[in-house]
Homo-oligomer: A and B are copies of this chain.
Amino acid sequence: MDGFMQSVGHYMLDHKTKGMPGGIAPFPMAEIAAKNWNILREDLPLPLAVLKKSAMDHNSAWMRDFVARSGAVIAPHGKTTMAPQLFGQQMNDGAWAITVATPQQLAVARDFGFQRIILANQLVGKQAIRYVFDELKRDPAFDFYCIVDSEANVAQLVAAAQSAAIGRPLQVFLEGGWIGGRTGVRDIETGLRVARAVKAAAPSLALRGVEGFEGLTPTDRTAAETQVRTFLDMLVHLAQACEAENLFAPGEVILTAGGSAFYDMVLARFSHANLSRPTRIITRSGCYITHDSVRYRRFFTEITDRTPDAAQGGGLLSAIEVWAYVQSRPEPGKILLTVGARDFGTDDRPVAETWFRPNTAMSHPATIPPGHLVTGHNDQHTHMTVPENSPLQIGDMLSFGVGHPCLTFDKWQILVVVDDAYNVVGVVRTFF
């Protein structure tokens, strides 16, 4: 991370940035460690989003090793964090590319010098298409991939490619989907029609592989695994059908699928695709770098259960916390905290993990006793039911584990990086 830190180190922070102390003189991000701030000493206001450096480093190395053992590569989804510093850490740990979801996310990754980027989405709209071709023309080393699932979109891209005349093809993946799911062709025949349209558009377009996103599944585990298995089979059949018709552009064929919940199944299935061409397998998990305390913690339990090898190296650790103060205890069994839907994702409810009383003999945060349950949130408040004998008082600090990192990162322009004693050793800037 340190190398990429320099490229954002000149960004200025001031007290309009959520997490910075009121009244502080503006200063460049690179100087934050020199402030010698400590969270438990209350050097920063709450709410505050905190990244634990040791856990992030652990997760990055764990995923590198896990993917490498399977012979695949990772193109981590940058949309989770939208933090070029973390993209840098992920590339340093061997990522093959950075994945993004939108043209703005692409622009951020380009500005920070990332050369191989997968837009795991359809490329639509005048400005988005124009920007991609401008950027491909400007930089011959820019290695870009996007996704198609319709002849209509292929026709739009062909028209733009012919007009832009950049001298090399726009590289696309054919996307498979399932009925009732998100984007992607629903059946092999439709997929072949789209793939044939891509091939017919050579040399404007080049079909580089097959893509899918397996993450949006039923909540029942058995039903989800069955659906993912069926879907991965469909993606492999789509690739086999494209190969049989010789629709892929020359070179290796890429098979890539996406989420942070089933990458073990993706690796296992794609490594038995039995294509005759050299095949590159790419997973795209974005959440592993920070993990979480609810959604992906549960999914990771399922991963190690299905794929015991994943437990090697200690698995993934939650590296992200949001801290808040107890602001009110208006009933013996209820407290309100200075944090809300503006500060963490609420699609999966955050969980209280530790508490700390500053300026006392406490030296470390203590585990929250049983019975402290988040019951709801407003924009700027969290409601919690507590036992009547709860030790919590007004002014105590609580840490929350988050339910889903993507929708917590986007609530912050900066997240502070801490060591295990909660000293602030760095800061990560997001670009949402």
Contacts and interface: CB of A to CB of B under 8 A. Distances in A.
Contact of A328 (B19, B135, B150): B150
Q: Would you list the 6 A-B pairs with minimal beta carbon distance, nearest first?
A: A22-B131, A42-B126, A45-B127, A183-B328, A122-B327, A101-B380
Interface in A1-24: 15-23
Name, among A18, A43, A341, A358, the residue most crowded by chain B CB atoms within 10 Å (CB to CB): A18
Contacts of A111: 15-16
A185 B180 CA distance: 49
Q: Interface extent on A, as a size class?
A: 35 or more
B182 A45 contact: no
A101 to B, nearest CB: 4
Interface stretch (A312-320, A330-338, A416-424): A330-338
Given A15-B107, A45-B131, 17 more contacts: A15-B104, A16-B104, A16-B108, A17-B104, A22-B106, A45-B127, A102-B380, A124-B326, A149-B328, A150-B329, A150-B330, A156-B395, A181-B330, A183-B336, A184-B330, A341-B407, A342-B432
B124 A325 contact: yes
A149 B327 CA distance: 9
14 contacts: A15-B107, A15-B111, A16-B111, A22-B127, A23-B131, A44-B127, A45-B104, A79-B342, A124-B338, A153-B395, A156-B394, A182-B381, A186-B331, A379-B406
A152 interface: yes
Name, among A103, A107, A184, the residue most crowded by chain B CB atoms within 10 Å (CB to CB): A107
Contact of A407 (B17, B19, B379): B379
State the copy count for this chain.
2
A378 interface: yes
A416 to B, nearest CB: 13
Contact of A379 (B79, B131, B327, B328): B79
A103 B22 contact: yes
Contacts of A180: 334
